Structure 1
Amino acid sequence: TLKVKTGDFINGTEFINYTLTITGAEFSEIYGWFGDKTIDINNQSIEIDFFEGISENGLVFNNPQLNFYINNAFGVPMGVNFTGVSSSNANGTTANLSGTITDSPQFVRAPSTSQVGNIATSVINIDESNSNMRDLLAISPNQFNIALTAEANYTNDDGSDRNFVTTESNVEVVTEINLPLNVKLTDVSRDFPTGIEGFDFEDADTIKLVLNTINQLPFDGTIDMQFLAADSSVLKEFPDILFFTSAEVPTSGKIEEPTTNSSIVKVHKGEDGGYQELLDASVLNLVMRVTSYNAGEDNFVKIFSDYELIIQVGTEVNVNHEL
């Protein structure tokens, strides 16, 4: 309280200066206007093993989804930018998210000043209707990179609504990748190597490698059989061997009866017979190439959990003995 006695006066050049020092201050709640700054709210990488060994390009999912569940306990509405979302694969190929989802920030709700201590949840769905999600998965990624930034007070730029923060305030981002097993495959390849060092049939004239398959999947498949040296160079290759075929897919979408197929690869002595290369090889590599049923007609097929593909590999050896 400043008291001015009768007869005293204060002129315009006088002032009072207070210096206040606060140390060890703590807060429980702060209210005010926090401005429109850009802040980092999530930066993570998600490892994906699903595509391991699958060739880049050729695998298309029908309406894959990337969903974000954002729980905001700050009294600050936000606009989240998704331009920092991308996928990458083992070959170093990167695909960046684009589409209407990245054209403008996506609104994230916030509790009001009468809801201190509560959480406002926002769900943001990214699919083929608002993005290029198919492109991000088409490269057979082994990693999703998610770097999200947010604009504080998005749609609240006039400051008419007060902001608040408490010691318990935080933003939690839960990311969900949804890959429906409704797919289209076009010449998708994958390697299946196995060691064969020490393989030897000294007296054999011809070796027949027999491949039997029982297939319930809606896929057609061929293989390239390769004999590889220790340095992975190809010593001998038998290309385009029919491996398995798809049954007709009924209107219900589910195949009940599997198809069977048998293929024989003859390896024999002599020029270009593959016998010596088989003896010299360290690895037998099967390069499988798969195309889904009617993929050329832009048809998607469903994959059911009880589908089976049974592969049986055997050998027949012709041996001549002189008596």
Structure 2
Amino acid sequence: MRKLIQLTILTLFLYGCNLGDLEIDNLKDLTYSPSVAIPIGSASYTVKELIEDIDDQEVEINEKDDLSLSIIYRDNSSFQISSDFVSFGRIENNINYNLGLIDSEPSPVSTTIPIPKTTFTLEFPEETGGDLIDSLFYLSGMLSIEVTSTFEGTVDYIATTVGTKNINSVDDFSISSTVRENITDLNQTSLSNFKTVLNSNNGKNEFEFVLEGNINIPVGARTKASDNLDIKIVISEIEISQIFGDFGLTEVTLQNQSIDLDFFEDFSSTGLALNDPKVKFEITNEYGIPIKLDLSGMTARDNNGNSVVLQGSIVDDGIEINAPTKAGETANTQIEISRANSNIQDLLNMTPTNISVPINGTTNPDGSPGPLFNNFLIDQSSIEVAATVEIPLDVKMQDFSTEIDFDIDDIDLDDAESLTIRVISTNELPLNGSVDLQILDTNGTLLHEILNQIVLKSPVVDADGRVSTPAQSTTDITLSREGIDAFINGSKILAVVHASSFDAENDTFVKIFSDYQLTFDLSLSGEITTTIDLND
């Protein structure tokens, strides 16, 4: 859109017709007078040709069957939530196991005392709290079992962590070992390719630890009532590949997405109204967690620090992201923010250069996922968000302006006394356009200005919304001697382009069609003290 307005109103007749290459010092043999008009050239463009030159790789132009146009801006992002949503630190459980023996005299013979098969219920806490874990698969981790005995003699034992097993085995992980009096027996196992199945009890994640074995009392040894086994079970350095459970109702911050709209950079923040802009999100979710999005922080900002916050039913009601029901599958969600459910027109009418979208949400918004555990997280999974800003060229402009500046160092007018550029436009675009030209020096000081030069006149838009008869206008832009001196001493021209659309005062929106044509014919007249050789 920026190129469309700039090129049609100013750039075409300044650049496209080679005025920037005009060097009057090099003209010889023919003296000009104010009554002589020399054609400079003609340029004719369709709207489609103009917008194909938009210098923004992020922008697409969509042409529909009826030749109406839309500007499309796309932005893609991807984020993961596993490490932030469910995490485990060092998990440690301690057991002080006293068999209830009595003090005895030294044994005259070797004696074996059986340790009955005993089950202990231990906790497997999750750091964020409130998540009921059904099962988890390890990328890595370490299981340590330390046993210290105060019995005189040795203890042969079998320790089993119920529910923890190699993924290629049906048997729970178990160790058989022997511990001596007042010596700690340490056994460690890598949990890579292991899984743990947990139980839930009153909101806690639990697993069972089973101990059995024999106490070997040698001749002359005795038992004491205080004898016991101290057992420490530690699971550490946990990294999860998959986890299943009920992750509850949890507030989560997923990611902040930022959409840069560079094509609005040079626009004023007022005067433009877009009839039906939309922002669309296509979300692909690989996590088994439905999430209700909160878009209340979505904010548009322009270059002047102004901002508008998204409001409407789409904010009030929230948006639920669908979730797959099986690991390895995906679920898609389509979101459309439009004038029907929000104030998106206000956000985009301010010509923002950035839209920030804090993506916050609530997991399992409808409560527990079901009678069976069916939430899941996979370490390589992600949520993909494809954002599309769609701006149909169905607009209303009133008191709209934008600024363009360009260097004039290469234009030589030393021998001109006065100079007039005649611009004849034949216009099918439903836009009126005028321009204020300011000649500035290297410090930005104003040297000369030419105000309110009408360069476009809008044709009438018919009842079917199309223009059938183009409008023609003629404008003479004159540089006096004072203006030429400013031109010679200046370094750039600042052009303030003012635009209004057909019947904007009556709140009429107009569509821009790709086949609309704009033609400029330029001629030059002036009082020049130099002659030229036309054959050079």
Q: TM-score if structure 2 supplies the norm length?
A: 0.52
2:365 pairs with 1:154: yes
Contact 2:246 2:368 in 1 (8 A): no
2 CA distance for matches of 1:290 and 1:191? Answer: 11
Whole-angstrom distance in 2 between the partners of 1:284 and 1:107? 52
CA contact (8 A) 1:217 1:308 kept: yes
Give 1:292's aligned residue: 501
- Count of matched residue positions in the alignment of Structure 1 and Structure 2: 305
Residue of structure 1 in register with 2:251 after alignment: 38
Q: Indicate the residue corresponding to 2:265 in structure 1.
A: 52
Match of 1:277 in 2: 486
Give the CA deviation at 1:183. 1.0
Quick check: 1:77–1:152 contact (8 Å CA) kept in 2?
yes
Alignment partner of 1:232 is 2:444: yes
* Partner deviation per Cα, 1:172-218 (whole Å, 9 max, x = no partner): 22111111111111121122323223655455443213223232211
The question of 1:108 aligning with 2:321 is answered yes
Shift of 1:27: 4.8
Across the aligned residues of Structure 1 and Structure 2, the Cα RMSD in angstroms comes to 2.7
Distance 2:339 2:381 in 1: 34
Match for 2:356 among 140, 145, 158? 145
Distance in 1 (alpha carbons) for counterparts of 2:476 and 2:515? 28
Relative distance call for 1:136 and 1:184 in structure 2 (3 A) is: same
Structure 2's unaligned 5+ residue stretches are: 1-115, 119-227, 531-536
Gaps of 5+ in 1: 4-14
Write the distance in 1 (CA, Å) between the matches of 2:386 and 2:372: 27
CA shift at 1:292, angstroms?
0.7
* Contact residue 117 and residue 168 of structure 1 kept, 8 A: no
Change over 3 Å in CA distance of 1:215–1:161 after alignment to 2: farther
* Bigger radius of gyration: 2
Asked whether the equivalents of residues 223 and 243 of structure 1 are also in contact (C-alpha less than 8 Å), the reply is yes
Deviations 1:255-294 (A, max 9, x none): 244322221123324xxx5343333322223221110111
Which residue identity does 2:525 align to in structure 1?
E
Change (3 A) 1:312 1:146: farther
Q: In the alignment, which residue of structure 2 is the partner of 1:8?
A: none
- 2:290 corresponds in structure 1 to 77
Between stretches 35-44 and 307-316, larger displacement belongs to 307-316
Question: Which of residues 96, 111, 117 in structure 2 aligns to 1:2?
Answer: 117
Give aligned-pair identity as a percent: 30
Please state which structure has a larger fraction of its residues in strand. 2
Which among 415, 425, 433 is matched to residue 221 of structure 1?
433
Q: Counterpart of 1:185?
A: 397
Match for 1:268: what amino acid? S
- Alpha-carbon distance in 1 for matches of 2:370, 2:256: 28
Aligned to 2:345: 134
Per-residue CA deviations over 1:135-190 (Å, capped at 9, x if unaligned) read: 11122112221211111111125865632223343222211111111111112112
Q: Quote the Cα distance in structure 2 between the aligned partners of 1:311 and 1:192.
A: 19
State the 1:312 CA deviation: 4.8
